Amino acid sequence: MFSLLQLLKDGQFHSGQALGVRLGVSRSAIWKQLQALERQLELDIHKVRGKGYRLADSLNLLDAEEIAPQGSVPWAVQVREVIDSTNAEALRLLQAGKLAPFLVLAEQQTAGRGRRGRQWVSPLAQNLYMSLVVRIGGGARQLEGLSLVVGLSVLSALRAMGLREAGLKWPNDVLVGRKKVAGILLELVGDPADVCHVVIGIGINVNMREMAEGIDQPWTSIRLELGHAIDRNCLARSLSEHLRDDLARHETDGFAAFRAKWEGAHLWQGRTVELASGVQVVRGEVLGISEAGALRLLVDGSERQYSGGELSLRLSDDS
């Protein structure tokens, strides 16, 4: 089906006969594939007698060569069509013996995941779903603040696309105002005190314009904010380059080298927040983050630090 989708991605009319010639199949086979595209990928295809078929909207499909021109990043790039999630695929490849680093992207996810078990809605060819696998050999110190560094890489790429109003929310979100535009999910494999691998999952709302079922929080996309479509390959290339540079610096200098920059981009710096862990809720003022990436809060006149993947941060009602 994706071979046919490649021919239709320009949004122009193509006759069934021409499509059949290009793919070496009959017009009847083309018709069946078109029906499958509509049914399985929920695409809107216009059919006009005498003109042929075209997509209701053109598609910007991912291309590994455009994302990572030879030698531009120190990892191999693989693009999948429809998979459960890029993190799950990256873990399978790692288990099968593929050597890190490598990057997996997908046109669509059927079971995309966010933090704390949330679903990450992943419509076809609209957003960016990617997972970078890296090997960590320097012990637990190499993991300190890693997700925050990735957040800075994502923020830099978004701002390079023109989204100047984007900012960070501790620990792993990128927001525009109070609306989420990107999220990060890290998964560890191995012993964090010795040698391990980290799967860095990143989801960015790029060209999505309509509310999709399953989104349970305020969201936005780059397209909604800027008013025009974004080349996903260009964004993925920019993000890959920022990740290349930031991860290399983090490996040599640690998170301390990024701390001031991160705090400068934190949208909730100095705000009153509520930090929840299960049923326990702590209310305090955001002082910043530690050199290890922990959240620093002023609680009842004293500074406390918090870290952990199951924590949820929100603005206090009167902040």
What letter represents residue 79's amino acid?
Answer: V
Residue 150 to residue 247: CA distance in whole angstroms: 8
DSSP 240: H
User: How would CATH label the architecture of 64-263?
Assistant: 2-Layer Sandwich (3.30)
Catalytic (active site) residue 141: no
Active-site residue identified among 115, 169, 237, 259: 115
Residue 109 marked ligand-binding:
yes
Parallel, antiparallel, or unpaired: how do β-strands 128-136 and 166-169 relate? unpaired
Burial degree of 317 (CB within 10 A; 0-12, 13-18, 19+): exposed
Please give the class, per CATH, of domain 2-55. Answer: mainly alpha
The runs of H, that is alpha helices, within the chain are: 2-8, 16-23, 27-41, 64-67, 86-95, 146-160, 222-226, 232-253, 259-265
Catalytic (active site) residue 39: no
Active-site residue identified among 169, 180, 244, 259: 180
Residue 179 to residue 174: CA distance in whole angstroms: 9
Residue 220 marked ligand-binding:
no
Report the pLDDT value the prediction gives residue 118, as an integer from 0 to 100.
64
Q: Does 268-315 match 64-263 at the fold level? A: no
Residue 60 marked ligand-binding:
no
Whether 123 and 100 have beta carbons less than 8 Å apart is answered as no
Catalytic (active site) residue 180: yes
* pLDDT per residue as tens, the chain (319 positions): 678 888 888 888 898 888 888 989 988 888 888 888 887 777 788 889 888 998 888 788 999 999 999 889 999 999 999 999 999 999 999 999 999 999 999 999 988 776 555 666 778 889 999 999 999 987 777 889 999 999 999 999 999 999 999 999 999 999 999 999 999 999 999 888 888 999 999 999 999 987 655 566 789 999 999 999 999 999 999 999 999 999 999 999 999 999 999 999 999 999 999 999 878 899 999 999 999 999 999 999 999 999 876 788 999 875 4
Residue 117 marked ligand-binding:
no
Residue 285 to residue 308: CA distance in whole angstroms: 18
Whether 183 and 173 have beta carbons less than 8 Å apart is answered as yes
Report the pLDDT value the prediction gives residue 261, as an integer from 0 to 100.
97
Residue 87 marked ligand-binding:
yes
Sequence spans of domains, the chain: 2-55, 64-263, 268-315
Active-site residue identified among 118, 223, 296, 314: 314
Residue 87 to residue 129: CA distance in whole angstroms: 9
Domain 268-315 matching CATH 2.30.30.100: the answer reads yes
Residue 180 marked ligand-binding:
yes
Residue 124 to residue 127: CA distance in whole angstroms: 8
Residue 92 to residue 90: CA distance in whole angstroms: 5
Residue 17 marked ligand-binding:
no
Report the pLDDT value the prediction gives residue 319, as an integer from 0 to 100.
44
